[in-house]
Amino acid sequence: MHNEKHAYQQKIAAQIAEWDAQIELLKAKSNNLAADAKLEYEEQLNELDKKKSELSVYLSELADKADDAWEDIKDETERKWNKLSEAFDCFITKLKE
């Protein structure tokens, strides 16, 4: 059980690090937008960053759980991860349009 928990934590941490990098790149791109587009773009980026932070908190809570109790928080972590993944995909799709 411990190895499964540890592998799961590493998987989420790696995804969060990737999203951090993507958010930073997207923030840099926002500097080239017109004022109104930039405002909307930055609002969406802030929402992504907020969701990512929530997932980071859950990851910390997951690390603190005993091996036999971590499944309780894993489900909520999965839900948050899926919502964030969908939000990122949607945002990136909008950018490509």
At 1-13, the pLDDT tens digits run 568 778 888 888 8
Span of 3-17, 23-37, 39-53, 57-71 with lowest mean pLDDT: 57-71
**Local confidence band at 66 (pLDDT 50, 70, 90 cut-offs):** low
For 62-88, b/e burial (b = at least 16 CB within 10 A) is: beeeeeeebeebbeebeebbeebeebb
pTM summary value: 0.62
- The encoded tokens of residue 62 equal 């997951």
Element (H, E) at 67: none
pLDDT, greater one: 94 or 20? 20
Cα separation, 32 vs 29, in Å, equals: 6
How far the first Cα of the chain sits from its last, in Å, is 44
Residue 83 predicted with pLDDT over 70: yes
User: What pLDDT was estimated at residue 68?
Assistant: 65
